[in-house]
Amino acid sequence: MTDQNRFLLSEKDIPKAWYNIQADLPGPLPPVIHPGTKQPIGPDDLAPLFPMGLILQEVSQDQYVEIPEPVREIYRLWRPTPLVRARRLEKELDTPAHIYYKNEGVSPVGSHKPNTAVASAFFNKEAGTKAMTTETGAGQWGSALAMGCHFFGIDCEVYMVKISYEQKPYRRVMMQTYGAQVTPSPSQKTNAGRQALQKDPANPGSLGLAISEAVEVAATSGGVKKYGLGSVLNHVLMHQTVIGQESMKQFELAGEGPDIMIGCIGGGSSFSGFVLPFVREELKNGHGIRFIAVEPTAAPSLTKGKYLYDFGDMAGSTPLIKMYTLGHSFIPAPIHAGGLRYHGMAPIVCYLYDTKVIEAVAVPQNPVFEAAVQFANTEGIFPAPEPAHAIRVAIDEALKCKKSGEKKVIAFNLCGHGHFDMGAYDAYLQGQLEDYEYPEAAVMEAMKEIPAL
Ligand SMILES: *Cc1c(COP(=O)(O)O)cnc(C)c1O
């Protein structure tokens, strides 16, 4: 069929293994460093926070890691997700390019996050974990882990960035409906929270600070509680590769493959899940696919950050990770793409950017919402503000094709729907959105607080 829109797979096509790019990188990832000893950390250093199953995945050099059947069984609630040709958008842009999107917004909580949340809860259940702690910004990750924990009978404690807690009450209700306990961060429950509140009782919170609280609660629980992280870590990116593996099969059905693959990056997990199986082919055969990671100009980790060792959280309680960072003291501007307001980036994404396998671009939020509205008005779907960053760049690339007459295949990851983001759409429609450009000088200033190695 030449006029096909949706390229669908059946349940038996859900991948049986996660793809681990560590096996195929030309060199090893830089080691993660213990901030006290300044030596590379080992599995035992992570044991207070994560179950051994996940720690072993974090450092695994196996090319594939089998997906346990109980996890695949839950994936079957929404996977495989559709790959869709955006024909109405193409027509509107009057471009010869073909535009495709992979729709991860069809998951129960509305984003790609359950791909790893379910896996994380499963390996914790296997290890006997009774409760998990985590942070959430806009609420996508908190909702996903709350669901995963509920399915496996684990208690879930979520520290939600205070400004989101107040602005997005429906995400909180969703988490509570799945049985999670939700606390606005900074809170009085932890040292990190109390310290922040002492300095500024009106502190609106940040992802870095909420991570500090969730980590502290798990680390001081005497092994009863473990911590769950929804992005950045190697094993999280690996869990997300079900997205790209399915996409690869779906492009076979479409009879063409992508020339350009685009995704937004907050911590880098949805982008990675989408592109890494294609990066593998690229490293092997070099087809010349361009991989473009899109970040907000308000939190430009790759395009303005420095590639060095920094903490993953604000209080400095995590190990030191080599990544492009804006500095762990980074306080983001209140852009609506809550999932993209993080100071650091996944080490795997940073490695691929540093070695020029992938590209990065930063875009401000008004053009992003313009793209979101254009997408809603052609394809009918409201994208979350985060993937709208990818849509902006996909449209820009399609318009370049219009000029040059090139018939490129452009694919982006629609990693979440925007049904909980109507406040952001409203602000855009009323002309109330501000564009923020994070200043170079602030990056230099924050570098002073980064520990010397
Ligand atoms: C969490 C989230 C992001 C940002 O995290 P990544 O790890 O970069 O994917 C982006 N989009 C949506 C919809 C999210 O829920």
CA distance 309 to 25: 20
Within 10 angstroms of residue 417's Cβ, the number of other Cβ atoms is 20
Please give the pLDDT value at position 7. Answer: 97
Cα separations in angstroms, 49 against 62, 237, 333, 345, 434: 23, 18, 30, 20, 38
Residue-range domain boundaries for the chain? 6-13+68-110+235-449
Q: Which residues lie across from 83 on neighbouring strands?
A: 7, 102
Please give the pLDDT value at position 330. Answer: 87
Query: In terms of CATH architecture, what is 6-13+68-110+235-449?
Result: 3-Layer(aba) Sandwich (3.40)
Please give the pLDDT value at position 34. Answer: 93
CA distance 317 to 216: 8
Asked if residue 349 has its Cβ within 6 Å of ligand 1, the reply is no
| Ligand 1, atom 1: closest residue by C-alpha | 339
Asked if residue 140 has its Cβ within 6 Å of ligand 1, the reply is yes
> Tens digit of pLDDT per residue, the chain (453 long)?
568 999 999 999 999 999 999 999 999 999 999 988 999 999 999 999 999 999 999 999 999 999 999 999 999 999 999 999 999 999 999 999 999 999 999 999 999 999 999 999 999 999 999 999 999 988 999 999 999 999 999 999 999 999 889 988 999 999 999 999 999 999 999 999 999 999 999 998 988 899 999 999 999 999 999 999 999 999 999 999 999 999 999 999 999 999 999 999 999 999 999 999 999 999 998 889 999 999 999 999 999 999 999 999 888 889 999 999 999 988 888 888 888 988 999 999 999 999 999 999 999 999 999 999 999 999 999 999 999 999 999 999 999 999 999 999 999 999 999 999 999 999 999 999 999 999 989 988 899 888 888
Question: What is the atom index within ligand 1 of the atom nearest the CA of 140?
Answer: 15
Asked if residue 141 has its Cβ within 6 Å of ligand 1, the reply is yes
Q: Say if residues 311 and 209 touch (Cβ distance below 8 Å).
A: no
**Would you give the end-to-end CA distance of the chain in angstroms?**
58
Please give the pLDDT value at position 2. Answer: 66
Please give the pLDDT value at position 450. Answer: 87
CA distance 364 to 296: 6
Q: At what angle do helices 347-354 and 269-285 cross, to 10 degrees?
A: 40
Asked if residue 293 has its Cβ within 6 Å of ligand 1, the reply is no
Per the confidence metrics, is the pTM higher than 0.95?
Answer: yes
Phi–psi pair at 234, nearest 5 degrees:
-60, -45
The rounded Å distance from CA 2 to ligand 1 centre is 33
Q: Say if residues 77 and 30 touch (Cβ distance below 8 Å).
A: no
Q: Please choose, from the candidates 106, 104, 133, the residue with its C-alpha nearest in 3D space to the C-alpha of residue 121.
A: 133
Please give the pLDDT value at position 335. Answer: 80
The rounded Å distance from CA 343 to ligand 1 centre is 14
Q: Please choose, from the candidates 36, 451, 41, 105, the residue with its C-alpha nearest in 3D space to the C-alpha of residue 233.
A: 41
Helix ranges (H only) for 233-291 are 234-239, 242-254, 269-285
Which tokens hold the place of 289? 């696919």
Question: What is the atom index within ligand 1 of the atom nearest the CA of 386?
Answer: 11
Question: What is the atom index within ligand 1 of the atom nearest the CA of 230?
Answer: 7
The rounded Å distance from CA 263 to ligand 1 centre is 10
| Ligand 1, atom 9: closest residue by C-alpha | 270
Which tokens hold the place of 52? 């051994």
Cα separations in angstroms, 209 against 206, 313, 314, 328: 5, 6, 5, 9
Q: Please choose, from the candidates 390, 358, 156, the residue with its C-alpha nearest in 3D space to the C-alpha of residue 270.
A: 390
Please give the pLDDT value at position 314. Answer: 84
Asked if residue 212 has its Cβ within 6 Å of ligand 1, the reply is no
Asked if residue 268 has its Cβ within 6 Å of ligand 1, the reply is yes
Phi–psi pair at 287, nearest 5 degrees:
-75, -15
| Ligand 1, atom 5: closest residue by C-alpha | 266
| Ligand 1, atom 11: closest residue by C-alpha | 386
The residues, ordered by sequence, that sit 6+ positions from 57 with a Cβ below 8 Å of its Cβ are 20, 65, 234, 235, 238
